[in-house]
Amino acid sequence: MKIAFAGKGGVGKTTIAAWMADHMARAGHNVWLVDADTALSLGVASGLEPEKLPVPLVQRKDLLEEYIGSGVLSLTPDVSGLPEQLAVALPESEAPLVEGADQRGRKQLLVMGTVTSAGGGCACEANALLKALLAHMIYDSQDYVLVDLEAGVEHLGRGTVASVDRLIIVSEPSLRSLETASRIGTLAAELGLKDQILILNRCDSDDTVLPEQLDLPSRRYSCGDLPGLRTKMLSDGSVLDLPEQESIDTLMAALLAE
């Protein structure tokens, strides 16, 4: 299964993505995590030390020239060996295996970076390589692939993840956050991505009444405030190994259900 995570900045989508990858690995699945967010925080959220983070793909000029070229660009490069070349292994969490699993799967991180930063120029080569690599991961990888998208609607506008199996939209229970969630869902639906789930993060009630004027996914889950996460965030970037592990696993299992 290929899953993308989207939402307004700061709503917790990277946290949800890290939880999902950890849950899948503890269930015995091999998981690729693709950090396509400008914040580049998925690795640290997954327990990787900051100094071990790989250089974002968009900064690898050697690879851009090797795979895309300069002058006359190759827009369909063969990137089949690139994920293994660029990925770094993520550490295992201390949480136990998911019931029914007999061993852990591996978690591997690819850091793609962004091509929208100031001073980046056209970045045609970087765009072409990012899209080719992401398409390869989505179409050809037999493992689970989780894509942490850039905050907002930029990736949806480019059609980068039109072929993922499921889109998880994370929002806080606020009008501005929900408006962004609605725009994301609408763009995704126009791309043909109909399997969408809305998570209301930092929301303790499943009965929250949402604005009727917004077009939001009908399949919805809530994730309440987690004291263990708030405490850990004061001293550690990792969002794993929390005292609320049981409730997190319950939510992750629901998000994976058909």
Place of tokens 């493992």: 143
CATH code, 122: 3.40.50.300
How far apart CA 240 and CA 235 sit, in angstroms, is 13
How far apart CA 5 and CA 156 sit, in angstroms, is 11
Which pair of structure tokens corresponds to residue 191? 């791309």
pLDDT tier for residue 224 given thresholds of 50, 70 and 90: very high
Domain that holds residue 180: 2-256
Which pair of structure tokens corresponds to residue 26? 């503890």
What amino acid is encoded at 4 in this protein? A
pLDDT of residue 151: 82
CA-nearest of 39, 47, 8, 11 to 238 is 47
> DSSP alpha helices (H): ranges in the chain?
13-26, 42-45, 61-67, 82-86, 124-140, 154-158, 175-190, 227-232, 245-256
Instruction: Tell me how many domains the chain contains.
Output: 1
Task: Identify each DSSP E strand in 46-97 by its residue range.
Answer: 88-89
Question: What are the pLDDT digits (tens) for 114-139?
Answer: 654 333 444 567 767 777 888 888 88
How far apart CA 222 and CA 189 sit, in angstroms, is 22
Question: What are the pLDDT digits (tens) for 78-98?
Answer: 888 888 888 999 999 999 999
Pairing, β 107-111 against β 88-89 = antiparallel
Which pTM value belongs to this model? 0.91
